[in-house]
Structure 1
C-alpha cells in the first residue's frame, strides 16, 4: 500500500517543476523581447542622427560651392523677425533673423523619416582688412555668420537635430 500512495507524489512534484520551468521560459521571453525593442530603438535613433548629420554636411557642401549656390544664405539675411509690423530687436539693438526652411518635408528611406533643414543669419562680424596675399584690388572683407539646423524625425520620440555654425566671407568692394 505504500507503493500506491507514492504515485501521486511524483505527479505533484513533476507538475510543480513543469510550472517553474514554464515560468522561467516566460520571463526569459519577455526579457528578450524587451532587449529586441531596445536595440531597434537604438538603431532608429542612430539612423536619424546620421541622416541629420548627412543632410547638414550636404547643405554645407552645396552652399560652399560658389555664388550661384548661395541663394538660401541671401534669403536668410533678409528674413527679419517681425511682430505687429515692427522688426524684433535683440539685446544689441540689431534685428533678430528668423530661420528660413530649405527643402521642407523631404522624405527619406522607407520608414517615413522627415528631414528638414533651415538656415538662420546670425549677423555680420567686423571687417577684415588685407586678407589676400599679394597686390589685390580687393582689400576689405566682411564676415557673415549663419547657423544651419538639420532635423531628422521619425516620430516625436525618435528625432535628431544638429546645428552647424558657418562664416561666409564677402567682399565689401573697397
Structure 2
C-alpha cells in the first residue's frame, strides 16, 4: 500500500512567530533518524523519551511545556506523541525516559491514549516522518488546564502564552 501524499507543513508555520531558544539532546539530532530506543514497541523500539535540555529562553519565562508531534502521520491532523505540561521554570532538562516528571508537571493523553511518551511508529513503507520536539517557554506559572485536556486544547492555550519556542526535528522511517 502506498501512502503518497504531499509533505505536511511544520505545525508552527501557522501560528504567530515567536523568538526561538536552544534545545539540545544527547539522544537525537535535528534532521537525523531517531534511535530505536525512542520508537514504539510496535516497530521494535523501547518507547523511551529522549533526553532534552534547553537554554537561552526569555527572561519573562515562568514555565515550560514540552511536546512531540508528527505532522506526517496519515491522519489529516498529525499525531501527538508527547505533551508535558506545567514544567517549572527551574527545570531546564528532562532525562532520557523522564519518569517521574518534576513535581507539578503532568502529561495529557497522547494519540496512543496514554499519559506518557509514545514513541515513533510510522506505517511500514511510508516515507520518513518528522518528529517535532518543541519546548515552549510560557508567560504563566501553570497553563491552567487539567490532565483530561486534549493535545489540541493544550496547543490552543499555548498559542496565547508562548513567549518563545525551541525545536528539534529528528526523523524516523519503519
Question: Would you call these one fold, judging by a TM-score over 0.5?
Answer: no
* More strand, by proportion: 1
User: Normalising to structure 2: TM-score of the pair?
Assistant: 0.29
* More helix, by proportion: 1
Report the structure number with the largest CA radius of gyration. 1
Higher RCO structure (Cα 8 Å, ≥6 apart): 2
